[in-house]
Structure 1
């Protein structure tokens, strides 16, 4: 398994609030655990951050996937780090965390989207 990208430190709530409110800062931050914060500006002018992590899926020939850990400040940074720990435990067992979380819910490409079975568009 390839090692995921990591930043230099674990950010506190106060540091993330300051980053969210400073438009001069980059749109993305990466912490030491590999948690990525992506700034989102809402229509009412408030800022939030999507928290996610990239990993190599054991089920798709190590193709990179994103695992969503919530939105700051609605969800906590500590909770996101706990999700990462659970995710790492699943990956160590060869289980894709997104598949485990989503259960058997069909995804695009599983014959449920507009492409239909075997990649054909409906009506072809």
Structure 2
């Protein structure tokens, strides 16, 4: 069962996070607590995301709307990486001749799109 952290616990864990900042992140929809019988709670992934949000807002002084855009791009990149891992595994499970055709096709497409091989 996944561990859930209350708002109070999350604020205690992350030294750069206070209740007002946490609520601004929630309002900006860059983190969404799960609903539990004990109230809103956060997963380990949420805690890591909140740490990243604190770092980004501190280091780059990003406003909430910019943070939302950056986090959306990070989410898209992570999704693409997962898709790529799955595609690589699927291709690896194919016979040699299929993998060879895929490799040649990728090479041709890279030449077309980049002008280089």
TM-score, normalised relative to structure 1: 0.27
Q: Which has the higher contact order (CA 8 A, sep 6+)?
A: 2
TM-score, normalised relative to structure 2: 0.28
- Higher helix fraction: Structure 1 or Structure 2? 2
